[in-house]
């Protein structure tokens, strides 16, 4: 992968926010009444059910765009992974990740060159809207190359069709100028990189104030109204 293609809008930006990322994100999410951990656990729990349906065992996970590694514990515990390898373009963020997440099997590295096909699953949340459009195919190809044959890529993105999502992003400094991807754009990107699309799901419809309605969300996953969406894709 040409890591330089990701640099202009990602590396310097997230270097600057490495220490304050959680606080900035919390400001945006406060509109929903939930914390980032609610969404992190929800993403992994939903994914775990989809993997179980496919009988897709997960031993090794690549967390693409891991940042400070806040999602790593959820990947270990929610997917029963033995190894989680976080990659990112921000060295200060990775320094925080290494210092914070020291459990056996957790490793972190800069996005450089290519990784050999090692992983059963690649996971990515809210990263591609920060990658310059010209660098997105290269990023998807990097993930494709790192997966074992038949490996799965779980790509979560913010849903630009959801007005609440747009409002939240406008409140987060590093999201304000991001170029979002619609679900069709994400599916096309992954197909062009060598993936077959398994499914697309939409999650996080109801804020905390309407949490009593959340059991309905599993029946609404095919409706493009959730705050985030998952495109699950398989390496050809």
Q: Is the dihedral of CA 165, 168, 173, 176 positive or negative?
A: positive
HSE toward the beta carbon, residue 121, CA cutoff 13 A: 27
Yes or no: say if 42 and 205 are a contact pair by the CB < 8 Å rule: no
Report the CATH number that the domain containing residue 177 is assigned in CATH.
3.40.50.150
Of 229, 233, 234, 222, residue with least CA distance to 39 = 229
pTM value surpassing 0.75: yes
- Give me 205's structure tokens: 């419809």
Structural domain for 124, as ranges: 3-235
Per-residue pLDDT of the chain (236 residues; tens, 9 = 90+): 445 455 545 565 655 555 656 676 666 677 789 988 999 999 999 999 999 999 999 999 999 999 999 999 999 999 999 999 999 999 999 999 999 999 999 999 999 988 999 999 999 999 999 999 999 999 999 999 999 999 999 999 999 999 999 998 898 887 888 999 999 999 999 999 999 999 999 999 999 999 999 999 999 999 999 999 999 999 99
For 88-99, b/e burial (b = at least 16 CB within 10 A) is bbbebbbebbbe
pLDDT at position 1, please?
47
User: What's the number of domains the chain is made of?
Assistant: 1
pLDDT at position 18, please?
52
Of 93, 59, 88, residue with least CA distance to 75 = 59
């Amino acid at each position: 992968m040409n890591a330089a293609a990701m640099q202009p809008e990602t590396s310097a930006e997230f270097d600057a926010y490495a220490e304050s990322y959680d606080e900035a994100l919390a400001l945006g999410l406060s509109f929903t009444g939930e914390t980032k951990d609610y969404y992190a656990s929800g993403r992994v729990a939903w994914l775990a059910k989809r993997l179980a349906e496919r009988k897709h065992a997960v031993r090794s996970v690549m967390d693409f765009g891991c940042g400070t590694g806040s999602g790593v514990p959820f990947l270990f515990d929610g997917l029963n992974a033995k190894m989680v390898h976080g990659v990112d373009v921000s060295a200060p963020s990775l320094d925080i990740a290494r210092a914070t997440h020291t459990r056996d099997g957790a490793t972190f590295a800069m996005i450089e060159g290519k990784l050999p096909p090692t992983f059963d699953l690649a996971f990515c949340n809210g990263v591609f809207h920060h990658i310059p459009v010209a660098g997105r195919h290269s990023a998807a190809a990097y993930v494709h190359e790192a997966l074992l044959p038949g490996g799965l890529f779980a790509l979560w993105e913010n849903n630009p069709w959801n007005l609440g999502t747009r409002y939240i992003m406008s409140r987060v400094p590093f999201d304000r100028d991001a170029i979002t991807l619609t679900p069709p754009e994400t599916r096309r990107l992954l197909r062009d990189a060598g993936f077959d699309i398994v499914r697309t799901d939409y999650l996080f419809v109801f804020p905390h104030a309407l949490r009593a309605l959340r059991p309905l969300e599993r029946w609404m996953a095919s409706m493009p109204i959730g705050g985030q969406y998952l495109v699950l894709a398989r390496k050809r």
